[in-house]
Amino acid sequence: MKRRIGAVAGLMIILLLGVIVARENVWAAPYISEKTVIMKTGQSHILKMKNAEKVKWSSSDKKVVTVSKKGKVKAKKAGRATITAKVGKKKYKTSITVSDGQTTKLIVYFSETGNTKKAAEKLQKITGADIIRLQPKKAYTKDDLEYNNDDCRANKEQEENKHVAISTSIKNLEQYQEIYLGYSIWWGREPGVIRTFLSKNNLSGKTVMPFCTSGSSGISGSMSDIRELAKGADVKDGMDMTDATEAEMRNWINENILAEEGSETNKKSMVMTIGSIDVPVTWEINKAVEELNELARSGLTISMSGYGGFEQVGSIGANLTEDDREITTSPGDIVLYNGNRLVVFYGSNTWDYTRLGKIDLSKSELTKLLGNGDVTITLNVR
Ligand SMILES: Cc1cc2nc3c(=O)[nH]c(=O)nc-3n(C[C@H](O)[C@H](O)[C@H](O)COP(=O)(O)O)c2cc1C
């Protein structure tokens, strides 16, 4: 009799627990469907809180995104905002990036200790691309990344070639033609988050520019996986950006993108001649340089005058698109002043300019070329 009562009581406890688990989801921890989302103005996206019933949604900037009581996010204006889902006292956050829909370049990166993030942000400054960070569904702890421990999560994932679940959504992928894909090197290859990103997103017809940071291995060991997983995409040779300068990043883009673009102007490069000497120049990637390139196609001659003992300045004879910032120039800098003047420095000055490029010569070589009276500068495309 006692045993029967015990069995019935046991059964009731199991049933009761079952009901509690089903109703309250007490064992499964709540989580938010995405931690990072990129979308363009006008688009909507529904965020979901899993394993939670009562959720209070809010937006950090309603001008950028609004969120409804049901988690429907609407993109209003280009910018960034955080959506918070409050469950009881706990908060779950999603970072939303809203694109104005103009650029066709996107930087997608995965970075756990910040090195690739830094490289990605430098690249964004150069390219003006939109940018989004890939987040794993389950965040990595410090122990997960302890690669000296054979059994740590990251090592096991690499050994098993895992596709690690991600918590990032790119709603406006069609907008982009050039995808800059950044990651750290884990055991010579790309981390599992990258494998998932590539297999879950259709990059067919797009150009993929892989870049990494690493202790020393470089990017080559990851290239075959990237090429295999980015089905139908034109995957360019990747670049290890550990300690890379902006000039090196620009060269990589010039070699892989601009050199291949259809227009004759871009296949050739713009050459600057001071007097009768061709000088080596690394050009900026911006609207003003594109316009200068157009003018240089039919040959552009600029009469320059020495000024202030640090620069030569001359009229271009046309207005170029300005993107002025206060800059302290250094020898070799080529800038646009007042929208219509070319300035080339052999010394330094602080003023509002738009950068056009840099002559890769020493200060003394530049002083010899520019510091001895007025010069003529010609620009040609060859
Ligand atoms: C699990 C793991 C494995 C790694 N394997 C390599 C490797 O094989 N070769 C290498 O040069 N660096 C390796 N590193 C170092 C990272 O590539 C390097 O620190 C990188 O810059 C980290 O990027 P992040 O700060 O953006 O996460 C490894 C790091 C981790 C956590």
**DSSP secondary structure string for all residues of 161-175:** T----B-EEETTGGG
Same domain, 87 and 112: no
One-letter identity of residue 49: M
Q: Is the pLDDT of residue 21 over 60?
A: no
% pLDDT > 90, the chain: 85
Q: Is the pLDDT of residue 10 over 80?
A: no
Model pLDDT for residues 68-120, shown as the tens digit of each residue: 999 999 999 999 999 999 999 999 999 999 999 999 999 999 999 999 999 99
Has residue 9 been placed in a domain? no
The CATH code of the domain that includes 35 is 2.60.40.1080
- Ligand 1 mean position, distance from CA 226 (Å): 17
Q: Is the pLDDT of residue 121 over 80?
A: yes
Q: Is the pLDDT of residue 18 over 80?
A: no
Nearest atom within ligand 1 for CA of residue 158: 1
Pocket mutation for ligand 1, best pick of 184, 189, 240 (most atoms within 8 Å of C-beta): 184
Same domain, 309 and 277: yes
Same domain, 260 and 273: no
Instruction: Write the DSSP symbol of residue 1.
Output: -
Same domain, 173 and 258: yes
Terminal Cα distance for the chain, rounded: 100
Whats the size of the chain, residue-wise?
382
Tell me which H or E stretch contains 293.
helix 287-297
Domain boundary among 83, 99, 115: 99
Pocket mutation for ligand 1, best pick of 112, 141, 151, 186 (most atoms within 8 Å of C-beta): 186
For the entire predicted model, the pTM comes to: 0.71
Same domain, 200 and 349: no
Which residue in 238, 207, 214 sits closest to 224, CA to CA?
Answer: 238
Residue of 11 and 205 predicted with greater confidence? 205
The β-bridge relationship of strands 105-109 and 341-345 is unpaired
pLDDT at residue number 4: 65
How large is the average pLDDT for residues 245-274? Answer: 76
The CATH code of the domain that includes 353 is 2.40.100.20
The CATH code of the domain that includes 236 is 3.40.50.360
pLDDT at residue number 255: 85
How large is the average pLDDT for residues 339-354? Answer: 97
- Ligand 1 mean position, distance from CA 187 (Å): 7
pLDDT-based confidence at residue 265 (cuts at 50, 70, 90): very low
Nearest atom within ligand 1 for CA of residue 114: 25
Pocket of ligand 1 contains residue 34 by CB under 6 Å: no
- Ligand 1 mean position, distance from CA 186 (Å): 5
- Ligand 1 mean position, distance from CA 200 (Å): 24
Mean pLDDT, all residues of the chain: 92
One-letter identity of residue 311: E
How large is the average pLDDT for residues 357-374? Answer: 95
Pocket of ligand 1 contains residue 154 by CB under 6 Å: yes
Has residue 5 been placed in a domain? no
Same domain, 209 and 117: yes
Instruction: Write the DSSP symbol of residue 145.
Output: G
Pocket of ligand 1 contains residue 186 by CB under 6 Å: yes
Same domain, 228 and 367: no
Instruction: Write the DSSP symbol of residue 33.
Output: S
One-letter identity of residue 334: I
Residue of 231 and 26 predicted with greater confidence? 231
Has residue 196 been placed in a domain? yes
Whether 336 contacts 311, CB under 8 Å: no
Nearest atom within ligand 1 for CA of residue 216: 11
Has residue 7 been placed in a domain? no
Has residue 3 been placed in a domain? no
Has residue 2 been placed in a domain? no
Same domain, 60 and 135: no
Same domain, 258 and 286: no
Radius of gyration of the chain (CA): 27
- Ligand 1 mean position, distance from CA 54 (Å): 40
- Ligand 1 mean position, distance from CA 215 (Å): 6
Q: Is the pLDDT of residue 14 over 80?
A: no
- Ligand 1 mean position, distance from CA 114 (Å): 11
Whether 163 contacts 133, CB under 8 Å: no
Pocket mutation for ligand 1, best pick of 185, 190, 241 (most atoms within 8 Å of C-beta): 185
pLDDT-based confidence at residue 184 (cuts at 50, 70, 90): very high
Pocket of ligand 1 contains residue 141 by CB under 6 Å: no
Which residue in 335, 348, 361 sits closest to 277, CA to CA?
Answer: 361
Torsion of CA 116, 119, 120, 122, to 10 degrees: 160
pLDDT at residue number 246: 87
Nearest atom within ligand 1 for CA of residue 218: 11
Q: What are phi and psi of 337, to 5 degrees?
A: -120, 130
Same domain, 53 and 124: no
Q: Is the pLDDT of residue 263 over 50?
A: no
**Total number of domains constituting the chain:** 3
Same domain, 240 and 110: yes
pLDDT at residue number 202: 97
Residue closest by Cα to atom 29 of ligand 1: 186
Which residue in 81, 88, 85 sits closest to 66, CA to CA?
Answer: 81
Residue of 31 and 10 predicted with greater confidence? 31
Q: Is the pLDDT of residue 296 over 70?
A: yes
Task: Name residue, tokens 């990747």.
Answer: 238
One-letter identity of residue 194: I
- Ligand 1 mean position, distance from CA 184 (Å): 5
Q: Is the pLDDT of residue 20 over 90?
A: no
- Ligand 1 mean position, distance from CA 119 (Å): 14
Has residue 202 been placed in a domain? yes
Domain boundary among 219, 247, 264: 264
How large is the average pLDDT for residues 273-282? Answer: 93
Same domain, 181 and 231: yes
Q: Which domain holds residue 159?
A: 103-264
Pocket of ligand 1 contains residue 222 by CB under 6 Å: no
Pocket of ligand 1 contains residue 329 by CB under 6 Å: no
Whether 183 contacts 49, CB under 8 Å: no
Domain boundary among 74, 99, 124: 99
- Ligand 1 mean position, distance from CA 132 (Å): 20
Has residue 128 been placed in a domain? yes
